[in-house]
Chains A and B, each alone.
Chain A
Amino acid sequence: MRMEHWWYTLPLRLKSILLGRRAERELDEELQFHLEHKIAEGIANGLSPKEARYAAMRAMDGLEQRKEEIRDTRRIHWLTDFLDDARYAIRSLRRTAGLTAFVVMTLALGIGMTSGTFSMVDALIFRPYPVPHPSGVVTLVSTTHDSSFDNFSYREYLDIRGNTDSYDGVIANAEMEAVGFATEPKATPRVKGGMMVSGNYFRVLGVEPRLGRGFREDEDQVPGRDAVVVLGPAFWEHEFASDPGVVGRQIRLNGTNFTVIGVAPETFPGMLIFGHPDFYVPLAMARVFSTSLQKKFFEDRDDRELNVKARLKPRTNLQQAQNELTVLAKNFEREYPQVNRSRGAAVRTQFEMRTRDDDGNWKFGVIFVILALAVLLVACTNVAGLLLSRARARTREIAVRLAIGAGRFRLVRLLLAESLILAVLGGFAGIAIGYGVVAWFHSFETVVFNSDLPLAIPFQMDTRVLAATLALSAVSTLLCGLAPALQSTRVDLVNGLKSADVDMPGRKRLWGRNMLVVAQVSMSLMLLTASFLMVRGFQRTLQLGTDFAKDHLLMTSFDPRLMQYNPAQTHQFYNLLAERAREMPGVKSVALTENVPLGGDFHGVLFVPDGFQMPRDRENFNSIMDTADEGYFETMGIPILRGRGFLASDTADTPRVAVVNEQFAKHYWPGSDVVGKYIRLESRDGTPVEIVGVAKTIKYLSTFDKPMDFVYMPLTQNPIARMVLMLRSNADPLQLVPSVKEVVRTLDANMPMMQTRAYEDLYLNQAVKGPAIAVKLVGAMGAVGLLLAIAGLYGLVAYNVSRRTREIGIRIAIGAASSDVLRLVMGKGLVLVGMGTIIGLTMGFAIERLMNSMLFNAGGVDILAYLVIVPSLFLVTMLAAYVPARRASRISPTQALRYE
């Protein structure tokens, strides 16, 4: 019944909305038709045409009233009223086009900056996994003293899978890694990003392949048996031109033939934030891919390389799952005390994984959004101030409307329609600016990622961001428009009608405007503080430098596993490579290292310092480490402060040695010489390693590092497959590239060289250009915030002065000097700016603490920042107050008294 009702009435409503004029015409015609017949009837009854017409009209009981009654039956007056409001609002906004444009731009800047930065937070934190029912997917992590987000080993994964009851499937994946890809055996492999996943990966996630099939469970059971691969959607499109016949084809990954069994759908670019794996292979094929050389992937319980996720059963809650996993972790600890001492496990939601403490990206995002919201708030107070002064100038109009019976609600609606239109325009312009901000982020793709892997900046204006933006516009409408609308409709009718412009007695009104001034000053002070601190922090880290030589260095990476080298072949390859590179003309020195400073993903090492009193609850300590050869310290210009670096005489057959950094030495053996001391790997009974030298502490992970412990191991004693060759040259390092290529060709023509570039280039991207993006963004926000605040402040103060013109005139007339007037007006401004400064300082301290704890790892207050910012902001705002104040002081009393 209801449905059928709508079936008939909906088209009518639509018709009355869309074809309002036609409906009017038809109504006229219908009534006209009636009247004509009625008149004809009257004449037939003997009346004169005039009388007949008169009688017909009378019979209608008032034609216009009837029409109105009929219009009411269309039940769309809420809409037509609104359209009327909107039309009226547009007309009155167009009368002040300049002001309108300013307001729209102001709002657009605030909204656009917020939506652009929110796209960042959205991608980093809120965007759900691209799978059906993403909220049911949780991550299981191993926890230790040092990490709350550790991985599990293959063995542990199998145990979790077999002994838990809370999940509809437990899946595992290794990190996305570089894999040599070729379509035929002869071709030189190219580096692509592959990911090892468990056989149930696609099934448990609920991802239906777009072509072919996903893995079968049995394809992930026998190590090395099933060489099958599922392609990622983008990879399929680019490498195979979306060929539907790709299923069943053979491709070569790291020199082994794999059969393509399926293609993942477009909707599933992968579970990572930044990376989009080119293809997926079963965990059972781990032999072909890079797993730790020192450990056995399928056997060692401490070879923790797997990220484990699970899908919660529908009626299981997190707590139950957590309890179950805790019991399991206790069992692990009891059964395998060697590798699981003081190791727990936890269930983490997607949100918890995304907002992990040890990741800085999302923190940047959050700080940016906070700052952008401050810009928006400044913009809103600006708009509110403008609307307020506009509405005040319309006091008489509003009073007249109220006097002839308009409801207050109706008037508030009318005034809100104005701010709604402003917000809609500002919202759309803001979305355009948001797109611009996102595009700007994307332009840094190559700066941010120096990798051959398929990584991309994931920020987009998706529906969530757009919805948030529109919601923001709506909220800003209310913020900007409601207060002025409510205030200006609370008019004292008698006074309002008498004068065009009368202040209510009492201070309420002024209080509102003063609040706006205070809010603007404090917001812009906070913004300035943030951008100033960002710039200063950045400069400071650059000045501190990295403590190693960055210039004249060429780097290029190799991974002999891509060519299926065994460890002996790998050893041989690197030996020959370093030897021949050293003989190249123009080369001063050569080094091999697992990772370069500021450009790598350093591994950790577990150790016990000999003779160190271990805390009772700790089995060992953890430090980041690098594996390097004997040329490393010289080539990188890292000074050895005590003892020695690595020597050619440190071989696999001699006692194990290590070099530690100064920070490490101070940390574990404060005040004594560490050369000659021992650390033991993994546990008290582990392999002893002698510390033979102390290297200077440099920056390892980023230029924002605080000093951290670091250990170097020699390549001969700690073989690694993927290494970086570093060459120090006399001239432009890139000139060495052809000769390096030639050397590599003589060793193995098919060996891919990856990430060949000048090290300084990497350094610039990582340490200068990357952070510069953040600095520019925050700087822009500070500048925009300050500009808006100045404009708004000027407007408000000027308006306040103009409101007091008559009063000032009287004061001058009874003998006040213009300096008195200046003092009066400025004094008021000073108080407001002072209040704003105090509040702004408080917020500035808060944001400084936030930024220090999140980004710069620096404590204390940057006094200089405040010494610069506070007086300059004070000066600027005082100037904004001075100009109108001066104008006021020059008013001639006769003119002022005649004012209005």
Chain B
Amino acid sequence: MLLSETDMSKPNDLVQGTLDLLLLKILALEPLHGWAISLRLKSISGDVLQVSEGSLYPALHKLEQEGWITAEWKQTENNRRAKFYSLTRLGKRQLESEAANWLRLSTAISQVIQISEA
């Protein structure tokens, strides 16, 4: 079953800026085109993180305009032309700092939560 069809929850379920981090991380592994990215998003995060396909492309284009990822038209394995995104040097740095940020934040939050439980 496709998530987006059964469940209409929107990407604002995601914490602000998280989508950027996810996309950067996915592209850090290998260059992908948009469709593959959307598949990867689903398979990696399982059913927990839901990203509307509609907001995927604006997010990608924003990252591109920021200079964090770069796009290139290449042939797919099915011999079709597709736009492949890959991480730039700038993007790598951005990913590192955002990932570090995220870790700091989530650790802090989980600590807070544990205190209140105790």
Contact = CB atoms under 8 A, between A and B. Distances in A.
A33 B57 CA distance: 12
A5 B65 CA distance: 10
Given A33-B35, A37-B35, A59 B4 contact: yes
B108 interface: no
Query: Chain B contact residues (Cβ within 8 angstroms of A): what range?
Result: 20 to 34
B53 A8 contact: no
Contact of A9 (B4, B53, B67, B81): B67
B104 interface: no
Interface string B34-56: 11001000000000000011110
B82 A59 contact: no
A146 interface: no
B57 A38 contact: no
Give the one of A7, A26, A60, A73 with max B CB within 10 A. Answer: A73
A76 to B, nearest CB: 10
Query: Chain A contact residues (Cβ within 8 angstroms of B): what range?
Result: 20 to 34
Contacts of B109: none
Interface of A is mostly: helix
Contact of A12 (B52, B58, B64, B90): B64
Interface string B9-30: 0000000000000000000000
Contact of B54 (A4, A45, A55, A61): A61
A616 to B, nearest CB: 82
A41 B70 CA distance: 27
Nearest to B35: A37
B90 A5 contact: yes
A66 B58 contact: yes
B38 A33 contact: no
A92 to B, nearest CB: 33
Nearest to B65: A73
A745 B87 CA distance: 91
A62 interface: yes
A59 B33 CA distance: 18
Given A33-B80, A73-B61, A4 B5 contact: no
B66 interface: yes
Interface in A24-38: 26, 29-31, 33-34, 37-38
A59 B11 CA distance: 12
A9 B82 contact: no
Contacts, number: 76
A70 B63 CA distance: 11
Interface in A114-165: none
B7 to A, nearest CB: 12
Contacts of B35: 33-34, 37-38
A75 interface: yes
Contact of B67 (A5, A38, A61): A5
A8 B66 CA distance: 8
B70 A8 contact: yes
Given A34-B34, A59-B53, A70 B61 contact: yes
A125 B38 CA distance: 69
B2 interface: yes
Interface string A54-98: 010011111000100110011100000000000000000000000
A782 B28 CA distance: 73
Contact of B52 (A41, A55, A61, A75): A61
Interface string A39-52: 00100010000000
B34 A33 contact: yes
Contacts of B61: 70, 73-74
A735 B82 CA distance: 91
Contacts of B62: 73
A60 B5 CA distance: 11
Contacts of B5: 55, 58-59
Given A12-B65, A31-B57, A34-B34, A26 B83 contact: yes
A45 B88 CA distance: 36
A672 B35 CA distance: 114
A60 B53 contact: yes
A860 B54 CA distance: 83
B58 A73 contact: yes
Nearest to A66: B54
Contacts of B4: 59
Contacts of B88: 8
Give the one of A5, A38, A61 with max B CB within 10 A. Answer: A61
B107 to A, nearest CB: 27
B109 to A, nearest CB: 29
Contacts of A4: 67, 89-90
A544 B90 CA distance: 83
B53 A74 contact: no
Contacts of A5: 66-67, 90
B53 A30 contact: no
A29 B58 contact: no
Contacts of A26: 73, 83
Contacts of B55: 61, 66
Interface string A1-17: 00011011100100000
B54 A62 contact: yes
Contacts of B52: 59, 61
Contacts of A34: 34-35, 38, 53, 57
A60 B88 CA distance: 27
A291 B52 CA distance: 94
B57 A9 contact: no
A34 B4 CA distance: 15
Contacts of B53: 34, 38, 59-61
Contacts of A29: 81, 83
A30 B90 contact: no
Contacts of B33: 30, 33
Nearest to B88: A8
A7 B62 CA distance: 16
A30 B34 contact: yes
Given A26-B73, A34-B57, 4 more contacts: A29-B83, A31-B57, A33-B34, A66-B55
21 contacts: A4-B90, A8-B67, A8-B88, A8-B90, A9-B67, A26-B73, A29-B83, A30-B57, A30-B82, A33-B33, A33-B35, A33-B81, A38-B53, A55-B2, A55-B5, A59-B2, A59-B54, A61-B55, A62-B54, A66-B54, A74-B61
Interface of A: 4-5, 7-9, 12, 26, 29-31, 33-34, 37-38, 41, 45, 55, 58-62, 66, 69-70, 73-75
Interface of B: 2, 4-5, 33-35, 38, 52-55, 57-58, 61-62, 64-67, 70, 73, 80-83, 88-90
Q: Top 3 nearest A-B pairs by Cβ distance?
A: A8-B67, A61-B54, A69-B58
